[in-house]
A and B are shown apart, each in its own frame.
Chain A
């Protein structure tokens, strides 16, 4: 079944640690996105990709980085986690022609 997967669902990590949030989609979508969402707040686009080897920064400044080596995979990395990174991170994908975006379940990150 075509879907979009994020792991882990929940993560509690200490300050200064390096973490990678995984996102994979099986729909063959060209575009992929990372959004940051604090509880009850709006979604902020932090990274996006048009396709393989394409990565762009979004509207919200983020200390994270992304890579897109394969179409289906769009991991997000924080080199040194800080408490200010505590948030929910949502991954999404869509076709090249901007049809609807499909969202993963999200990763709720807490940095202590």
Chain B
């Protein structure tokens, strides 16, 4: 079985601060990894994804994430957050086997103070 753990449930930052949200997963095989964002009142949207290749992936709105296979981690980063980044962020993993289903972490609620 696969599982995803997000360590920070709530994060409060001031504008221009740097952001790093932790995500660890457990799965023995090859994985596809995702970060989704849910802005207040909106549906889940994909921020970025990793399937293979360069472990540093860049997504929309200046976000990036690094896949570290040895640590089973896929942390999300942004050098300088904006007030508009206030949202809930979900890490998700999908085992490469077609029988696997997308599993989400518990989410991190980010509040950026103007």
- Where the two chains meet, the residues of A that have a C-beta atom closer than 8 Å to any C-beta of B are 31, 33, 35, 40-43, 45, 48, 50, 58-59, 90, 92, 94, 96-106
B76-114 contact mask (Cβ, 8 Å, vs A): 1 or 0: 000000000000101010111011111111110100000
CA distance A107 to B34 in the complex (A): 23
Q: How many A-B residue pairs have CB under 8 A?
A: 58
The answer on a CB contact under 8 Å between B107 and A45 is no
CA distance A76 to B4 in the complex (A): 26
Complex contacts, B56 vs chain A, CB 8 Å: none
Given contacts A96-B98, A98-B96, A98-B98, contact A42 B44 (CB under 8 A): no
CA distance A103 to B36 in the complex (A): 10
Q: Top 3 nearest A-B pairs by Cβ distance? A: A42-B106, A103-B44, A43-B104
Complex contacts, B106 vs chain A, CB 8 Å: 41-42
The answer on a CB contact under 8 Å between A100 and B49 is yes
The answer on a CB contact under 8 Å between B102 and A92 is yes
Complex contacts, A104 vs chain B, CB 8 Å: 43
The answer on a CB contact under 8 Å between A103 and B43 is yes
Given contacts A33-B101, A92-B102, contact A43 B95 (CB under 8 A): no
Given contacts A42-B107, A43-B104, A94-B102, contact A99 B43 (CB under 8 A): no
CA distance A101 to B104 in the complex (A): 12
